[in-house]
Structure 1
C-alpha cells in the first residue's frame, strides 16, 4: 500500500491560515444573520456548547485517562485542567464571551461587530497583559492601540450619542466590546498559567456544558428565559451546532494553533488583521448592510492599528529569542 500523502509545513500553515480567517469572518456574518431568524442568543449559545461538546468532551476524557494525574483533572474527570482554572477560563472564554457576542448581534449590525469584536481584542489584551502579566507597552504598540481606540470611537461613538433618542445599536456595540474584553481575559489567563491550547479549549467547553446547560434548562422550564428551540427548524439548530460549535470552537481553535506554529505570533496577528475588513465586506455583500463613512474610517484605523502595533513589535523583538517563544504561548490560545 502506498503511504498517505504528506503535506509540507508551508502547505499546512497556509491551509490553516485560510480556514481560520474564513471561519472568523463567517462567524460575524452568520451570527448577525442568525439574529433575524428563529433562535435567541441563549439558544445559539446552547447550540454552540452542544456542538463543541460532541467533540471536545470525549477528547477531554481521553486526555484525562491518558494522563492519570488526579491533580490535573476536574469536572467529573472530563476537564484536563484543575477546577479553579477550569472555572475562571470557562466563565470568560466559554460562557461570557458567547452570551455577550451573540446578544450583541441582536442590537447592532455585523459591520459594527467587524470592527469592535476583533478590533478591540488587541486593545483589551494589551491592557490586561500589562496589569496582570506586567508586559511592557512599547511606544510603537501604544500608537497602534491609540489607532484602535480612535477606530472604535468612530464606529461606536455615533450610536452612543443617539442613545437618548431611543436607539439600540449602542447596546450591541457595548456588548461587542464586553465580549472582546472577556476573550482577552481568557487569553491572559491562558498565558499566565501556560495552558495548552487543546486543554484550555476542552476545559472551557466542559465548564459551559456542566454549568450552562442545566441552568438554561431550568430557567427555560420556569419561564424565566425565553427559548425557541421547540419551534425552530431542526435544520437551523443542527447548522448552529455544527458551525458555532464544531466550526468556531473546535476547527478554528486547531487551525489558529497551527498558524502560530508555522507563521509565529507576529505574522499570525497580521494575517488575522484581515478579519475586520473581510467581515465588513461580507456584511455589505451578503446582508445588505451599508458601509457608512464612519464605519469605513473606523475599520481603516483599527486595521492600521493592529498592523502598525505588530510591525513595531516585530522590529523591536526580533533580536531577542525569548520574546517570540513567550508570545507564541499566548497567541496560540488567544
Structure 2
C-alpha cells in the first residue's frame, strides 16, 4: 500500500513533534540524575549505531552489487551511503555538534530553557541559513508568521530567561548559549538536507556513522586518560538501556528519518515552523506529567505560536527567476521554499 507524499509528510511531522516533545519532557524529569551530558551523547550514538551501522553496510553493499562493475556510488568506510565530505559535514552539525551542545546545555540551564531555545529558535535560525546558503527569499506574510512564533516563544520562556540573566553569579546563560548553538547546528543540517537532496535514511545513517566513528574513540581516550569525567561505570543498567533506546533509536533513528522526510515535503523553514509547537507542547507535558504550574504566559505563547504557524505554512513561496534548482541539483527555474 502506497501513501501519497502529503500523507507521508504529515505523518512524519506528527512523529517528529511527538519525539521532540517527549525529549524535552524526559530531559526535565531526568536532568542531573547521574550520567554526564557527554555520557548521554555516547549512549545516544551507540544506540543509534546498533541499528544504523548494519543498515548502512547493507545499503552500501547493495549499491555496489547493483553497479555491476561500473563506478560504485560514493560511500565512506563501507558504512555510510554518502561520500566522506558530505558524511562529515552533516555528521558534524547534525550529529556530534547538536548532541554535545544540547546535552551540555542541560548542565547549566534548566530544561524549561531548552524547550524555548532548542526548537523555539529553529524557524528563525533556519530562515537565516536558508537565505545565506540557498538564497531563499522570505515573503512578508511568512515574516509575520516568524515574528508571531518568536513572540510566542518569548511568552513561554522569556520571564525565566530574564530572571536567570539577572541573577548574580548565575551560569544559566552558558546553557542558554549552548542551546542556541545546538539549534543553529540543526538549522544548518536541515538546510543541507534540502541543498543536497538527501534521502532520509541515507542522511540519518551518515550522521550516525560519523558520530560513532569520531566521537566514541575520542570519548574513550579522554575518559581512560582521566581528562574527562564519566559516570557511565556507576550508572544503573536500566538507565543505560533506556538512554540507548530513547536517545539512540528514538531521537536519532526514528525522528532523524521522519524529520528528513518532513523537510523533503515541507522544506526546511516550513518544517521548523511546524516544530515550533514543541516549546508549548513540552510545557503542557510538564504540567500534565511533572505537575508544573500552568501560567497565563504559556497559554498566550501557545496562541501566538499557533497563529504564526498558520501564517507561515499557508503562505505560498514566491518564484525566483533564474534561480538554480537546489533540490533537483540542476539549473532549472525553481520556487524558493521559505
Q: Would you say same fold, with TM above 0.5?
A: yes
- Alpha-carbon distance in structure 1 between the residues aligned to 2:241 and 2:204: 21
Q: Which runs of no fewer than 5 residues in structure 1 stay unpaired?
A: 1-5, 330-334
For 2:233 and 2:277, locate their aligned partners in 1 and report how far apart those are by CA, in whole Å.
38
Deviations 1:197-226 (CA, angstroms, capped at 9, x unpaired): 211111111000000000001111111111
Q: What's 1:132 paired with?
A: 133
Q: Counterpart in 2 of 1:3?
A: none
SS of structure 2 residue aligned to 1:92: helix
Which runs of 5 or more residues in structure 2 are unaligned? 65-70, 330-338
CA change 1:166–1:160 in 2 (3 A) is: farther
**Which residue of structure 2 lines up, in the alignment, with residue 91 of structure 1?**
92
Paired residue total: 316
Within 5 Å, which residues of 2 pair with 1:1-334? Answer: 16-68=12-64, 70=72, 72-74=74-76, 76-153=77-154, 155-156=157-158, 159=161, 162-163=164-165, 165-256=168-259, 264=266, 272-292=275-295, 297-298=300-301, 300-312=303-315, 314=316, 316=317
Which has the higher mean CA deviation after the structures are superposed, 106-115 or 187-196?
Answer: 106-115
Q: Which moved more, 1:247-256 or 1:176-185?
A: 247-256
Higher helix fraction (1 or 2): 1
Query: What is the deviation of 1:237?
Result: 0.5
Query: Which string of whole-angstrom CA distances, capped at 9 and with x for unpartnered residues, describes residues 49-106 of structure 1?
Result: 00100111111111111112555111x2111111111111111001010111112223
Checking the alignment, whether the CA contact within 8 Å between 1:35 and 1:105 is kept in structure 2 is yes
User: What is the Cα deviation at residue 120 of structure 1?
Assistant: 0.8
Greater mean alpha carbon deviation, residues 197-206 or residues 187-196? 187-196
Superposition CA RMSD, Å: 3.1
Give the whole-Å Cα distance in 2 for the aligned partners of 1:57 and 1:128.
30
Distance 1:161 1:259, change over 3 A: closer
Q: Kindly state the Cα deviation for residue 162 of structure 1 after the two structures are TM-superposed.
A: 4.5
SS of the aligned residue for 2:231 comes to: coil
TM-score, length-normalised on structure 1?
0.82
Kept in 2, the 8 Å contact 1:140–1:309? The answer is yes
Q: Report the alpha carbon displacement of residue 146 of structure 1 after superposing the two structures with TM.
A: 2.7
